Amino acid sequence: MVEECILSVYNETKIVCPVHLDMQINWLAPDVVFADIPERYSINSDDIIKGTLLGRGAFGFVFKATCKLKAARNFKAVAMKMLQPVPPGPRAKESALMAYKIALGKWDRDPLQHSCKAYCTARQELAVLLTLKHQNIVPLVGICIRPLALVLELAPMGGLDLILRQYRRRGAHVGPHTFQILVLQAARAIEYLHRRRIIYRDLKSENVLVWDFPDPHSEDTPRNTVHIKIADYGISRQTAPNGSKGFGGTEGFMAPEIIRYNGEEEYTEKVDCFSFGMFIYEIISLRQPFEGYESIKECILEGSRPPLTQRETQFPTYCLDLMVLCWDELPKKRPSASQIVSILSAPECIHLLDTISLPHNEKVVCGIFNVFATNEDGTTGFEIWLPSYNSRIDIVDVLPSGNFLQGSTIICVDRIQMDNSPRSDLSNSSKSSRSRSNSRQHKINMICCCIIEDCVWIGDTIGNIHSYSIKSYAHTFTYMLDPVIKSPVISLVYLRNIERVAIGLHNGRVFLVDSTKIPTNCAFAEGTFVLTEICSGLILHSACSVIIDNEYELWCGEMAGKINVFPLNKSGVCGHQSLCHSDEPNIIEDVKVARMFATDDFVFSCLYPGFIVYQWNVYNKRIENKLDCSKLLPCSESLKSIAIDEHLSLVKCQISALASHSNELYIGTTWGCLIITELNTLRPITVFRPYENEIKSIITVPHPNFPLIATIGRRYRSLIARFMDIDNSQEGIKPTIYEQGGELRSSFRDIDNHIHVMLWRTNNWA
């Protein structure tokens, strides 16, 4: 009887009762004419004008329309989702006409079944849409009964699948910032549904409608306007506390637990998280999952996942990691929608490009980028030189996209007569290191480095300078600056314009040497190589240089918060000025100027112990701004990972590294935090904690067109592990080349004690 009532509404016929004769349908079965729906959602067919065809799906056609809303004089552009066959219009494609004829034929053959199916679809979507209100969910405008159609807000730019197709045709790709905004909006919509115990079950680009999106090849910035909303709730289901049943979804996006049991076994909202992984794949690759594959369901059940090209694997690493976790075979290993939102909201999500674990436990406190032109096509290439303790220099090649490529090792031998230091692959470096360790040769602990002309100069803890060619990796010289007092080399400052290098020792001696000369002997002898000595003070802790009016100034950080400034030219020192961090020097007598970094207009310094960064104006020699790092806590932390009961002592807020790139200052702390501030004002932009232990060094690419920096530290903290209930030892660390193919160490602390180098994209942190 109910089915006949539904059919009579669509056929616009009356129900005849043998006793009561003609019956008004809204008296007999008010539900079938949606009399229970609030009046404001009821749209009369006379108040809506159907327009052009927008698209079609399994449910039917979607038309553009104009609708006069109740208590409104103006018409509003809307979308009509037709749930019964309607002619697509005279300008429709042949495929649309054919689809209409097929649907109409089915309806004519069994009108009762199809009218009831259309009614149930409308009821299903209304049950969901009437209870939802979210900025990323398509809102319901109303329902039209004749013809049966859901009236929804019109998306000006159509479906996301059409936009991705346009990007692909024009050879463009979705940039990381646009990706983050887009995927985060979708994740928030799914999170909202899950909180209301609704499983969406059909997340894909085709069901995502677009209000704003950048054009292909437009600049990728966080200021791009992106606004999407999720549509089509025809197969969405309210879930019971113990799960849901039912077969639904799109091939390639459907979770294996639905496919395996044809929806007859209970599953949870984690099926949406599986689809979310495939949705991420769509955006990164601009392709459908398993495009061109046959037997897609079997592929998913066998554990296969869609492939990525080499270029696509260069996408920010956390985005790829999140995609892989989302499409995990086991639902319990997938992140929840809330966890996905937290991960995508983190600043490091799209800024971390790659991470590498060095295959040793030696101390690394410095590093430098070498920029070179490749021989093949003249493109720019990079490599990072990482001198360490125990005579080891690691060299890691970096792609311009910000991905590590391969690594090599130089074993630094303290023998002047040695002409070359062999460069060997990392896979063989363990043997080299092992064979060297068996000898009685002195181990060299390297603590600072600088590129001078076409060589890398490296200072060690006993006052030696070691030089290696950046082209051939050959050893060019080793020079001992102070044979009597073997004081560590604290700084190497290259004064390019006057062809000098200022070499500072911990004992306060600063030597000015000729950068164009190779020393003829191995120990200190003032003459052609060592030109003069600057008497800085009793102890030197840091140094940097600035250029003012085409003349260099060497800033030397010492004890009691004092800085000595020496104007320099080719002849040597031509003046002196003393600065102090406090008007009362006795108050800071026991502190040292531990770190200094110079830019064109500023010198940044910090004291130890201390947690304040000072910004000095290089022209008036005054402190213009300060930043108290003890007042900054990292974002992108869960309640579990931040350990709110942990006492944040001032020892953890000490500043361990300083560097600048473009308009930002980068500050590393002993707690493993990376603080990013505006260069000119020291206003904090963001703070996060990628390391458990201190950040040893921050190095920048000396090339304005490549916004890259690298950080060096121990005990990498995975962003994903901070929010997911997984073991860090399983997820957070990728085995080094020595551990692959062998048994991984059982102790996470041993594995994670390696030095980790992270590559970061530096543009658009805000």
724: Cβ contacts below 8 Å, ≥ 6 apart: 325, 335, 339, 731
Q: What is the mean pLDDT of residues 649-658?
A: 86
Say yes or no to pLDDT of 149 above 80. Answer: yes
Say yes or no to pLDDT of 247 above 60. Answer: yes
**What mean pLDDT value characterizes the chain?**
85
Say yes or no to pLDDT of 377 above 70. Answer: no
Between 613 and 54, name the one with better pLDDT: 613
Q: What is the mean pLDDT of residues 357-383?
A: 84
Most confident of 270-284, 351-365, 533-547: 270-284
Between 36 and 419, name the one with better pLDDT: 36
d(CA 365, CA 368): 11
Q: What is the mean pLDDT of residues 549-554?
A: 92
DSSP string of 100-124, one letter each residue: HHHHHHHHHH-HHHHHHHHHHHHHH
User: Which run of H or E residues covers position 63?
Assistant: strand 61-68
Say yes or no to pLDDT of 656 above 60. Answer: yes
pLDDT in tens, 406-454: 889 999 886 544 443 444 444 444 333 333 444 456 789 999 999 999 9
d(CA 352, CA 332): 26
Tokens 């181990």, residue located: 443
Nearest C-alpha neighbor of 687 from the set 656, 658, 713, 666: 666
pLDDT in tens, 508-536: 999 999 999 988 877 766 667 888 888 76
Q: Which of 340-349, 368-377, 418-427, 510-519 has the lowest mean pLDDT?
A: 418-427
d(CA 617, CA 599): 10
Tokens 């609030």, residue located: 38
What would be the CATH architecture of the domain defined by 160-345?
Answer: Orthogonal Bundle (1.10)
Q: Give the pLDDT band of residue 646 (cuts 50, 70, 90).
A: low
Q: Give the pLDDT band of residue 747 (cuts 50, 70, 90).
A: very low
Q: What is the mean pLDDT of residues 318-346?
A: 95
pLDDT in tens, 73-85: 778 899 998 888 8
Say yes or no to pLDDT of 748 above 60. Answer: no
Tokens 């030397």, residue located: 556
Q: Which of 83-87, 391-395, 539-543, 741-745 has the lowest mean pLDDT?
A: 741-745
Q: Give the pLDDT band of residue 708 (cuts 50, 70, 90).
A: very high
CB atoms within 10 A of CB 384: 23
The per-residue pLDDT for 284 is 97
Q: Which residues are catalytic?
A: 202
CATH of domain 2-153: 3.30.200.20
Torsion angle of alpha carbons 264, 266, 272, 278, nearest 10°? -50
Say yes or no to pLDDT of 319 above 90. Answer: yes
The per-residue pLDDT for 731 is 44
Nearest C-alpha neighbor of 421 from the set 389, 394, 396: 394
Q: What is the mean pLDDT of residues 340-367?
A: 93
The 3-state DSSP class for residue 246 equals coil
Nearest C-alpha neighbor of 201 from the set 242, 257, 154: 257
The per-residue pLDDT for 588 is 65
Q: What is the mean pLDDT of residues 81-103?
A: 84
Domain boundaries, the chain: 2-153, 160-345
**Number of Cα atoms under 13 Å in the Cβ half of residue 231:** 29
Q: What is the mean pLDDT of residues 683-704?
A: 92
User: Which run of H or E residues covers position 276?
Assistant: helix 270-285
The per-residue pLDDT for 245 is 57
Q: Where are the alpha helices (DSSP H) in 639-761?
A: 639-642, 719-723, 728-731, 748-752
CB atoms within 10 A of CB 574: 11
The per-residue pLDDT for 730 is 45
The per-residue pLDDT for 35 is 82
Q: Which of 97-111, 312-326, 494-508 has the lowest mean pLDDT?
A: 97-111
Strand partners, 3: none
Q: Which of 42-51, 304-313, 327-336 has the lowest mean pLDDT?
A: 42-51
Where residue 653 falls (left for φ over 0; alpha for ψ -120 to 50; beta otherwise) is alpha
The per-residue pLDDT for 106 is 84
Length of the chain: 766
The per-residue pLDDT for 226 is 97
Q: Which of 45-54, 87-96, 676-685 has the lowest mean pLDDT?
A: 87-96
Say yes or no to pLDDT of 91 above 90. Answer: no
C-beta separation of 594 from 613 below 8 A: no
The per-residue pLDDT for 369 is 94
DSSP-derived secondary structure letter, 555? E
C-beta separation of 305 from 327 below 8 A: yes
d(CA 364, CA 385): 11
Q: Give the pLDDT band of residue 463 (cuts 50, 70, 90).
A: very high
Query: Is 81 known as a binding-site position?
Result: yes
* Same-fold call for 2-153 versus 160-345: no
Between 461 and 650, name the one with better pLDDT: 461
C-beta separation of 291 from 316 below 8 A: no
Q: Give the pLDDT band of residue 243 (cuts 50, 70, 90).
A: low
The per-residue pLDDT for 112 is 84
Say yes or no to pLDDT of 602 above 70. Answer: yes
Say yes or no to pLDDT of 749 above 90. Answer: no
Q: What is the mean pLDDT of residues 326-338?
A: 95
The per-residue pLDDT for 373 is 74
Q: Give the pLDDT band of residue 376 (cuts 50, 70, 90).
A: low
Q: Give the pLDDT band of residue 537 (cuts 50, 70, 90).
A: confident
